[in-house]
Amino acid sequence: MTVIPKEYLLLFNAVTDAEQTLAQLRETLLQAQRQAEELFLEEPGGEDPSSEP
């Protein structure tokens, strides 16, 4: 069995944690984008951008 030095385990765990945090942040941002788009479409004239003067 190969022994992995503790500094590599520390780095691997930090990278893994960062990847998970970024994935959660991505989902949060996508949800905010969806909500913003829904709010925009609820506004009068929000469905047809060519209707602006």
Tell me the per-residue pLDDT of 30-48, one tens digit each, with 9 for 90 and over: 999 999 999 999 998 766 6
Q: What is the identity of the amino acid at 26? A: R
Residues 43/44/48/49 CA torsion (nearest 10 deg): -70
Whole-model pTM: value is 0.68
Residue 25 belongs to a domain = yes
Q: Per residue in 2-18, pLDDT tens?
A: 999 999 999 999 999 99
Residue 26 belongs to a domain = yes
Residue 4 belongs to a domain = no
Spatial separation of the C-alpha atoms in residues 40 and 36, rounded to whole Å: 6
Total of domains in the chain: 1
**What domain range is 35 assigned to?**
14-40
